[in-house]
Amino acid sequence: MSYPGSENSETASPFFFGVDGVSCLGWFHAAKAPRLGVGVVMCRAIGYESMCAYGAYTQLAEQLALAGFDVLRFDYPGAGDSAGDDAQPNRLKSWTDSIVCATQQLEKLAGCSVFCLFGLRLGANLAAHAARQLGGVAKLVLWAPCATGRAFARELRAAAFTRESSHQGESAPVPGGIESMGFLYTAQTLADFDALPGLPADGPLADRVLILDRDDRPSAKPILTELQSRGVDASYALAPGYAAMMNEPRETHLDAQTLTRLKDWLLSDLTDSNDVRAGPVSLPLHAGQENPRQQQFDGLRESAVSFGAVGAGSVPKLFGILTEPDQVQAQPDCCDTAILMLNVAGNYRIGPNRIYVHIARELARVGCRSLRFDLAGLGDSRHAEGFRAANLYSKDSRPEVRAAIDFLSAQGCKKFYLLGICSGSFVAFQAALADTRVTGQILMNSRLLEWHEANPDGTWQDSMQQAYKSVSFYRRQLLDWRVYKRIFQGDVDVAGIANRVRVLVGARLNRAMRSTFRTDSSEHGPLQKVRQLSRRGTETLMIVNADDDGRDYLEFHFGASGKYLKGDSRFQMVFVNDSDHTFSDQKGQKSVISKVKAHLGVQDSSSQ
């Protein structure tokens, strides 16, 4: 089955390619004239750092293509939109092998014979080891490389220890493994990190190497020294903007000065290559693959799809991944329920810590379709000026959600659920109000469901954008003697917590006064509108981490545990314990998936 908008018309072409039996999603950015005949393979960072740098990698790939390079960026096996997960064995080897394979794919796509590898953080170390496997490349760029794999693992363990301390030393999700910054690392993966040297011990790497060190905490000089001692033509520079690029995915950007330095270095000392394939390219297939835009595994199928931009005044062209049961190809009507997953802040379509990927694949196994897609200016829907924090609570995304529903309707879907975490739940709520086709909304850890441009509730709105815990959490903490020790040590933001409680109490008093004097109150808006949706037949499921500060906002509007809507069969508020705002831990994600399945009335066939 082909999908509308699946023709090769984007500035970059998505395709799946195989690595040791696992398919990976790649993006080919064809060089713009004049073509240089040089290919650049972009090796991503690992885990949370990869999430942060996604926007910068996309920008860099686009800029290098404009400069005449053919560029391939991709997701490692078990990462991003690729098949697999964190628990797979031999991950370090598969990541390095995938870089080698990506280089071979780029050679097929563009006809290049000259290659450069670019890597960030541990991705830089992986790029160096892949260059050794390739027998050397023309150029190698190492941005903020780790001293060794052991040093990287030490950072992961420190982050994991911090989380365990805040969660009363909860047990590891797998024996010997850890959860760090929302990602799982098995005992084998950690052992492989510990054994990984910063650079291969011997053998050719590249004709020339550029080390871009982080400007906030330079640490890569030892790698420069080692390369120079081996006779490698290596240069070193501080790269401005590292901290901004690796910040939480909101307004991540690539520093213009660093981009210029990188392009100039890659362009220097290049000779023209006659081995250049001009014009359109044919995306390659791997064994057993019918369509380069589809991957099949574990009884499900994922397709890289584009939609929107069908006429004057339409929404921009948007990109997403459609996940569905494999049998839908032979039986298009086998699943008529679709879940649309909406971006969280600046995170691209996989969701924080890949939660949307996990939800989508679990739902496909029980007969539901899912579309995780990027709103304009985010991820790979790069057809707007770009994402800004002001976009978090904008109604401008409603036409884009409508276009996604149109696309899924054309695939035979009849029931549509909108799912979003935090700011994604805002988009879901506003889109549900605007489109009567929405069957239900799944709102997770909502901090705001309405944004008042006139800002009558500015203090309340602004306060909800400052991350704290729920008031019920702080009440419980008052009974723990260890908290008072932390307060005396200055480790608790007492003033910030007190201000949050003050704002909440003030909002309640303000509402009470308006109710007493019968003046119009915008605070009652979400409650009235959920009731309106229920009368229309639209379901609402609210999933709340019990300690999340969004609980205060939701219970302010809907009552403790949603009691103001008690008796409404189309409304439900449920809680997840011992997780965080984005449900980054495995336990929290499993709980969320279970509650979503229960709400949809589906379950695994093995449990039926």
pLDDT (mean) for 412-439: 96
What pLDDT sits at residue 7?
A: 36
- Cβ atoms of 282 and 275 within 8 Å: the answer is no
For the stretch 205-231, pLDDT in tens is 999 999 999 999 999 999 999 999 999
Give CA–CA dist 420/442, Å, rounded. Answer: 7
Reported as a pLDDT band with limits 50, 70 and 90, residue 419 is very high
Reported as a pLDDT band with limits 50, 70 and 90, residue 396 is confident
For the stretch 460-500, pLDDT in tens is 666 666 677 877 887 777 777 777 777 788 787 878 778 77
pLDDT higher than 80, residue 162:
no
Range of weakest confidence among 118-132, 504-518, 558-572: 504-518
Domain ranges, ordered by start, for the chain: 14-145+196-267, 149-192, 294-470+519-601
pLDDT (mean) for 151-176: 77
What pLDDT sits at residue 143?
A: 97
The two three-digit tokens of residue 324, written as one number: 């569905």
Q: How many CA atoms lie less than 13 Å away from 125 in the CB half-sphere?
A: 24
Hey, do 14-145+196-267 and 294-470+519-601 end up sharing a CATH topology, with the first three levels equal?
yes
Range of weakest confidence among 353-367, 441-455, 487-501, 557-571: 487-501
Range of weakest confidence among 50-59, 291-300, 472-481: 472-481
The two three-digit tokens of residue 187, written as one number: 């005992």
pLDDT higher at 525 or 276 = 525
Q: What is the 3-state secondary structure (H, E, C) of 299-338?
A: CEEEEEEEECCCCCCCCCCEEEEEEEEHHHHCCCCCCCEE
Average pLDDT, the chain: 87
Give the CA-trace dihedral at 448, 466, 347, 66, to 10 degrees.
Answer: 120
For the stretch 298-324, pLDDT in tens is 999 999 999 987 554 567 789 999 999
What pLDDT sits at residue 499?
A: 79
The two three-digit tokens of residue 108, written as one number: 């097929």
Q: What is the pTM of this model?
A: 0.90
In this structure, which CATH number among 3.60.10.10, 3.40.309.10, 2.40.30.20, 3.40.50.1820 belongs to the domain 294-470+519-601? Answer: 3.40.50.1820
The percent of residues in the chain predicted with pLDDT above 70, rounded, is: 84
In this structure, which CATH number among 3.40.50.1370, 3.40.50.1820, 3.30.60.50, 3.20.20.80 belongs to the domain 14-145+196-267? Answer: 3.40.50.1820
Of the candidates 314, 288, 210, the one whose C-alpha atom is nearest the C-alpha of residue 21 is: 288
Give the CA-trace dihedral at 145, 148, 153, 154, to 10 degrees.
Answer: -100
C-alpha distances out from residue 298 to 287, 289, 316, 324, 361, Å:
16, 14, 33, 11, 9
How far does CA 480 lie from the centroid of its chain? 36
Range of weakest confidence among 239-248, 383-392, 574-583: 383-392
For the stretch 83-142, pLDDT in tens is 999 999 999 999 999 999 999 999 999 999 899 999 999 999 999 999 999 999 999 999
